[in-house]
């Protein structure tokens, strides 16, 4: 997940316009979503309001000892979820507590896309990750109408 987050940050720096804001990892964990959903929604709303100029809110999400990455495209009301266990566990957006808290926090509904990521059970090498990023990220940017040129 760090690689995906870094890619977004690097791309925004190349364009000299940072398009990303980051939710506090500790404020949105699966445990926090269960124990204190109000604190989670307050954090999301506060950050989204403060960074209204950002195209993406990146939310590295830890639940049940597993990391996923939520990419919230707040202006088009779309959330992309990157999770390496999507295929194996047959997961969808409703399987994440954070998915229900995003619309609660921001006051409108979102469309969700589970993004195909690494499906192999072996450990990914740096080259595997780089290849996946070069293939995946332009696809997401194109869907969002963002030029990489």
Q: Which tokens go with 110?
A: 């979102």
63-69 mean pLDDT: 87
> Would you say 43 and 23 are in contact if contact means Cβ atoms under 8 Å apart?
yes
Q: How far is CA 8 from CA 11, 63, 81, in A?
A: 5, 22, 14
| Dihedral of alpha carbons 55, 40, 118, 11, sign | positive
* Tokens 């309001």 belong to residue: 49
Report pLDDT digits (tens) over 24-55.
Answer: 999 999 999 999 999 999 999 999 999 998 88
Domains in the chain (CATH in brackets) are 2-143 (3.30.310.130)
Q: What is the pTM assigned to this prediction?
A: 0.72
73, 123, 136, 147 from 127: Cα distances, Å: 28, 11, 14, 25
Model confidence band, residue 146 (pLDDT cutoffs 50, 70, 90): low
pLDDT surpassing 60 at residue 1: no
> What value does the CA radius of gyration of the chain take, rounded to a whole number of Å?
15
Q: Is the pLDDT of residue 57 over 80?
A: yes
């Amino acid at each position: 997940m760090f690689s995906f987050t870094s890619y977004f940050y690097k791309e925004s720096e190349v364009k000299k316009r940072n398009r990303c804001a980051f939710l506090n990892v500790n404020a949105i964990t699966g445990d926090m979503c269960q124990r204190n959903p109000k604190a989670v929604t307050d954090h999301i709303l506060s950050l989204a309001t403060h960074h209204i100029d950002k195209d993406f809110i990146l939310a590295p999400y830890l639940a049940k000892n597993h990391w996923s990455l939520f990419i919230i495209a707040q202006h088009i009301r779309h959330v992309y979820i990157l999770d390496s266990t999507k295929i194996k566990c047959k997961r969808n957006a409703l399987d994440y507590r954070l998915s229900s808290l995003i619309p609660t926090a921001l006051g409108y509904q979102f469309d969700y896309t589970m993004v195909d990521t690494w499906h192999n059970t072996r450990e990914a090498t740096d080259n595997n990750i780089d290849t996946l990023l070069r293939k995946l990220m332009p696809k997401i940017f194109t869907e969002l109408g963002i030029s990489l040129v």
